[in-house]
Amino acid sequence: MNIIPVILSGGSGTRLWPVSRPERPKQLLPLTSDETMLQLTVGRTRGYAGATLSNPIVVANAAHSSIIDEQLQMSGVDDYLLILEPIGRNTAPAIALAAFEANPSDLMLVMPSDHIIAKLPAFHEAITSALPLVEQGWLVTFGITPDAPETGYGYIQMGKACGNGVNEVARFVEKPDSENAARMLSEGSHVWNAGIFLFRADAYLRALERHQPEMLNATKQSLERSIRSGKHLFPDRDAFAQCPSDSVDYAILEREGLAACVPVDMGWSDVGSWDSLHSVSLQDPSGNAVRGDNLLIGASNCLVHSDGPRVTLVDVDDLIVVVAQGDVMILKRGESQKVRIVTEKLKKIP
Which residues are at the interface with a copy of itself (CB under 8 A)?
18, 295, 297, 306, 308-316, 319, 321, 323, 326-332, 335, 338-339, 341-342, 345-346, 349
Q: Which is nearer to a copy of itself, 218 or 311 (CB)?
A: 311
CB of 25 to a copy of itself, least distance (A): 19
Q: How far apart are CA 113 and CA 13, in angstroms?
A: 12
Q: Which is nearer to a copy of itself, 161 or 330 (CB)?
A: 330
CB of 337 to a copy of itself, least distance (A): 10
Residue pair 279/289 in contact by the 8 Å Cβ criterion? no
For residue 197, the 8-state DSSP code is E
147 CB neighbour count, 10 Å cutoff: 9
Residue pair 139/203 in contact by the 8 Å Cβ criterion? yes
- CA within 13 Å, CB half, 189: 12
Pairing of strands 227-229, 232-234: antiparallel
CB of 340 to a copy of itself, least distance (A): 11
Cα dihedral 260, 265, 270, 275 sign: positive
37: closest CA among 63, 81, 82, 67?
67
Residue pair 336/274 in contact by the 8 Å Cβ criterion? yes
CB of 11 to a copy of itself, least distance (A): 22
Supply angle C-alpha 232, 236, 242, rounded to 5.
Answer: 135
Q: Which is nearer to a copy of itself, 165 or 298 (CB)?
A: 298
Q: Which is nearer to a copy of itself, 286 or 312 (CB)?
A: 312
Q: Which is nearer to a copy of itself, 175 or 338 (CB)?
A: 338
Q: Which is nearer to a copy of itself, 160 or 348 (CB)?
A: 348
CB of 328 to a copy of itself, least distance (A): 5
Q: Which is nearer to a copy of itself, 246 or 335 (CB)?
A: 335
Name the strand (E) or helix (H) holding 239: helix 237-241
CB of 15 to a copy of itself, least distance (A): 13
Q: Provide the phi-psi class of 52: left if phi over 0, else alpha when psi is between -120 and 50, else beta.
A: beta
CB of 291 to a copy of itself, least distance (A): 14
144: closest CA among 128, 122, 160?
122
